[in-house]
Chains A and B, each alone.
Chain A
């Protein structure tokens, strides 16, 4: 984190001009959306379903080690595809323009214990609106971690590397608890709130269905391979959780990503909103396969600028967005996955301890966009 606002050199006019240029990029993609894009998502969905079907078929014979390895690998990839390139993006409404009720943000449900509608609220509405605003965007540390010097340190934070590791292993449960705002709602009075109870029941139903499917029904169908199939589905869930946790940590945690004060978003203009997304997100560089497996969240910056554009278009958008970063002399935070994951973890460890020079707090003023 820098004490100096990296956007301080921009005038208010420049920020609005930047906003207009980004709007033009968006309009261009929307005007050219069509058959090819529709064919893309249909192909991905169909491939995911076939891969899952075949992998689970292979796992019926998971007593044989090669079948176990093959089936587990296939199922892990299928689950990652379901959550990342399909689920996350469909639930953002990226494919709603196709007007296909089967591939639509209002009807889609994913292989995840958080029900789609709850996730859409906490993610699409809260996180994407208040990206990286301290006290507003709970994705900053998911309410269990300290990820910025400006957050107050508490002795409990000493354990955050451990929480973060546990959270990575059981990430989908962490997200479900987070979407339920479990921490806040477990107080006695809130617990009885009928709206909360209904949402908690919905999560309970989803957990039951997912657990029954992965840990009871499919193992039972495997007969003598019961235990090995159970181990395989557990492993696939673990792989999927650790993978998506890592990718998502790379989105906003690495060094170089800015956080913002609550006050800074008061009367925020469209240009300023765009700028906050640009400075508050980080990308992952890599091959096309890497982009696909991250659900194109490797293009986190582009995704945050245009959360509802089809994910298959982020790569071409990224070229233009990066040019704008250069034009306006802003830092485009990106790097290969291992480096970004390491950077995020280092921050988790570093901030588990109190700030090195207590008492010297970054002056808020300088870091505010409005000041620019």
Chain B
């Protein structure tokens, strides 16, 4: 018998010892970060960056597969007892010696998770993690000339890149309301002092919003540069238009923190959702997952990862249509159609079996 087969036999036996629980339920008590456990992390420190931003240092579990500069990770944090999932760009370099990863979080007004992480979370807290993902990354071959166009917390994935690789020629145009709002400002200025970075700060409180046409004057050779842009939708929309207007759109890489698919006004304004088994009907917008809609309405909803991976929340769609919040894809009711309520929002009136 191979050792793998032996191990699986032994594991089966262990499952018989612990039934109806799993061996992992007991192991989690003593070693939640061990190899083979669900991926978790422990918050080890929170360092303030600005008035409303902080860097969270996380020791990931043994199952962490590492990341590529520019990627993000989803984390599940318990806020007021409720587990909420959010995605944050990773700001630590890939070769960090102690194996820790960092995310840098900006507290947004009324943001439950961001305010919790910036102001309240204690070191030692266990959080749920998901493997790093995202294709807002550098290519294998290092580009000769680089431009980073960022605004606000859009600087975070780019900081992960700057800390990871030394570029020969890199310019950063970064927008923030005031100088003290620039996250990582000291570190950026150190890079400038070491002649490793050319930095253009746009302080929007005094300078006004960045007009994309000003790039010609700020970075005359922008069109020759491989560009990574991250920030609010307005900036990215303008950049995409500008780059494709000049026929160089293949040099522009953008990262949107919020999926642009659920914008109201383009026929995805939501609708009335009926939960058939419980007989409840509520109004839902086109951006809130049906899982949240149901839970808010007090319907017992099956749930799992809350990010469209585990299929623990699938439920039959009996009538109407839903929109996949990740892809914008519309699914219409047909016999046998199951939807994942955690990534589906109402696309008009719909009925689900709950």
Contacts and interface: CB of A to CB of B under 8 A. Distances in A.
A46 interface: yes
A49 B28 CA distance: 11
B83 interface: yes
A347 interface: no
Nearest to A212: B16
Contacts of B20: 109-111, 206, 209-210
Interface stretch (A100-108, A171-179, A322-330, A336-344): A100-108
Contacts of B21: 49, 109
Contact of B80 (A34, A46, A109, A206): A34
Contact of B29 (A33, A39, A46, A99): A46
Contacts of A101: 303-305, 310, 312
Contacts of A97: 81-82, 295
B25 A98 contact: no
B49 to A, nearest CB: 26
A98 B312 contact: no
A104 B302 CA distance: 8
A33 B312 contact: no
Interface residues of A, number: 35
B78 interface: yes
Interface in B57-100: 78, 80-84
B78 A209 contact: no
A97 B303 CA distance: 10
A34 B13 CA distance: 38
A37 B304 CA distance: 21
Nearest to A214: B19
A99 B84 CA distance: 8
A263 interface: no
A8 interface: no
A218 interface: yes
Nearest to A218: B17
Contacts of B303: 96, 99, 101, 104, 106
Nearest to B313: A106
User: What class of interface size applies to chain B in its complex with A?
Assistant: 20 to 34
A209 B19 CA distance: 7
A105 B313 CA distance: 12
A213 B312 contact: no
Contact of B81 (A98, A105, A218): A98
A103 B25 CA distance: 11
Contacts, number: 74
Contacts of B301: 96
A212 B295 CA distance: 38
Nearest to A46: B29
Given A93-B300, A101-B303, A106-B312, A213 B83 contact: no
A347 B249 CA distance: 83
B81 A107 contact: no
A74 to B, nearest CB: 15
Interface in A25-72: 33-39, 46, 49-50, 53
Contacts of A50: 29
B11 interface: no
A104 B21 CA distance: 14
A217 interface: yes
Query: What 5 A-B pairs have minimum CB-CB distances, sorted nearest first?
Result: A38-B81, A106-B302, A109-B20, A99-B83, A34-B80
Interface of A: 33-39, 46, 49-50, 53, 93, 96-102, 104-107, 109-111, 206, 209-210, 212-213, 217-218, 221, 308
Given A34-B81, A213-B17, 6 more contacts: A39-B81, A46-B29, A97-B295, A99-B84, A104-B303, A209-B16
25 contacts: A35-B81, A38-B78, A38-B81, A38-B82, A39-B81, A49-B21, A49-B29, A50-B29, A96-B295, A96-B300, A96-B303, A99-B83, A99-B84, A99-B306, A100-B78, A101-B305, A101-B310, A101-B312, A106-B312, A110-B20, A209-B16, A209-B19, A209-B20, A212-B16, A212-B19
